Structure 1
């Protein structure tokens, strides 16, 4: 009898171990399948979210924002609320939250967004209100529906609109640079129009749409050259509205092709087409994109300026690649021709793949996501270093790409 009980117990134990072993194998198998099913964007986003969260834990003051990292250092150099880059860090946090749904990152995004409220209610000092407020509060409202965020966004749009001159038909970009450029409008300003378009659709004055549309039309006429490269700055007579000249501030020369400026144009005109349906904006975006693709160097990563005579020894600009990648994906989504959609989608994806490579991802080097951006080379500022807007547009590009590919799989 004892032998029978012992045999039964051994049998039961063996059966239990066998079941546990099968369960473990099944769990491991499912884990392997889950890992294998992740896209390259998922892998990069996973790493990026971990890094962003670690950086968030190291930053204590909500009114100090990452801007750049000095060569040889690991930590971000910080700037205040009024720096034109202040909205990119909270915007990056919002993108990280969108992907991860991590409550700690959400709390961080809210914390670093809040101090920027003052921009909406302070007299406009420059066109960058869109970068500062729409990248932060805009993404926050999109993801949370927080009505306070909406109120602040509408106020910010009204503040930005105070820089509009109806005689010129554009928003004054740099009030503080009139001594150099007279009444000036820069290509970067195309990106800030989205705040005005959004406000006009969400309870703001309808005139905000007219201002944004006029700005895009005048920019298309004078900022875009006949070969579809772009001036950085255009100057006007403030009293008559007469066009004076095109120039540069951050590019190599007045007639050179500054890489990030080309990106602002590709993205800005594609977005303006989305908001207005004006076919000329779509065509302009396409031609700007084609010219960018044609002039890319063999490795596929843009130099800071395509006409720098020091090429191939000139610095690259990862930030330009990120902006262009977002612009290419935006353009792809606005087109109906499947061949053209694929062309610009692939161009954007190629840039994202390059940015996600070991050559550009920072790894353990420092707190940033990306290396090798160039801010203002003529001013000897931020050359071949991490810059926060590079990380911001990289995160945006990754999320855009993931959403498009997810839709393709589902269909």
Structure 2
């Protein structure tokens, strides 16, 4: 692969990588201290919940959800494994409770082996949400090396012909698509961008840029809504199918998929300052915040086109991701757009912090956010707490309170 031409604008804007939430904020976009007591309180409550949860987590397992009064766990190879330690690190950043960081570091030991896992596209979720957060706090060089190895592993799934990182491998994971790429995969690019800059590795950077550009071209409709799955012909590199796996229908707008796209392109702009990524992120944001099916409390239905709205299930996990993304995106948008994005993100956070969605201590085994939807078509993890909802909720709280700097 030839990288030089593509990397010139990227390298020229490296000086912008130090931008943080604090340095980006303006007075009319940031809540006053007296207005944020509720967020501070819920950060403390979230930490208490996770202290309860941590008492019941086996040393070699990672909590995923709570169903029928029972905690459910996965091994380190599941795509959600990084969210639990990552949330603990975030809670440490918000509360400075060292016990939370110690618990996270213990769990990272079990997760470390996944740095060499080449069978999944989800290493960004697994490794950057965990080791990336931990490195930002501790600056442990061993964590940086783990992220480098994980970036190499995910890069092995990149196909220059399609210009994308493959999502699902063949059966038993997939027997429908030749080369499927899901919108979720946008969330795994930040690790590559970070590692590309940190280790001066042009290949990591180019893989992320190429995947983002190909996804921008093929995944989105004219209204900036996204397909879930796009499959490619590996000989020609052309698109062969556009479908859904977790949404209502191939042409519907699965809520969490829209959240992944919003978050992913906001992150792409942070790292590159390429205007096309900002424009695309704002297009997705406008689709979400102006959608006629977005409820008044701003917690979306699991699919914007679900057939039984207004009785369809809500997906609090999608709201948490959207809130976190909007609270970053408002830093880059024009003043009028910034106000809309900020207030929508704030409304989402306040709704998630209400008793309707925020679990009291021990109510959901220690999880924080209730009423999430994992996979409605398969009827799995429906109307339950989910580890990634907790992660992005806490991240959004910290961004709202400006307690963390963006990793770049």
Following the alignment from structure 1 to structure 2, what is the Cα–Cα distance between the partners of residues 309 and 54? 38
Report the counterpart of residue 258 of structure 2 in structure 1. 262
Partner of 1:26: none
Q: Say if 1:363 and 1:217 are closer, same or farther in 2 by CA, change over 3 A.
A: same
Structure 2 stretches of 5 or more lacking a match?
Answer: 1-32
Q: Deviations over 1:216-237 (max 9, x none)?
A: 0010111111121110010100
Residue 290 of structure 2 is matched in structure 1 by 294
> Shift of residue 306 of structure 1?
1.0
Shift of 1:184: 1.1
Give, in angstroms, the shift of residue 298 of structure 1: 3.0
Aligned to 1:349: 346
Contact 1:154 1:204 in 2 (8 A): no
Secondary structure at 1:324 match in 2? helix
C-alpha separation in 1, matches of 2:75 and 2:281 = 34
Report 1 or 2 for greater relative contact order, CA contacts < 8 Å, sequence distance ≥ 6.
Answer: 2
Query: 8 Å contact 2:398–2:404 — kept in the other structure?
Result: no
Shift of 1:334: 2.3
Asked whether the 8 Å contact 2:298–2:344 carries over to 1, the reply is: no
| Equivalent residues of 1:171, 1:185 under 8 A apart | yes
- Corresponding residue of 1:65: 62
- Asked if 2 retains the 8 angstrom alpha-carbon contact of 1:187 and 1:265, the reply is yes
TM-superposition CA deviations, 1:92-142 (whole Å, max 9, x none): 1111111122121111010111211111123x1121111000011000001
Alignment of 1:1-400 (within 5 A): 39-59=37-57, 61-71=58-68, 73=69, 75-122=70-117, 124-176=118-170, 177-203=173-199, 205-295=201-291, 296-335=294-333, 337-364=334-361, 365-366=363-364, 367-400=366-399
Provide the C-alpha distance between the structure 1 equivalents of 2:321 and 2:225, rounded to a whole number of angstroms: 16
SS state of the match for residue 379, structure 1? coil
Where in structure 1 do 4 or more consecutive aligned residues deviate above 3 Å? 35-38
Structure-2 separation of matches of 1:307 and 1:289: 17
Aligned-residue CA RMSD in angstroms?
1.7
| Length-normalised TM-score, structure 1 | 0.86
- Stretches of structure 1 that go unaligned for 5 or more consecutive residues are 1-34, 407-411
Contact 1:129 1:160 in 2 (8 A): yes
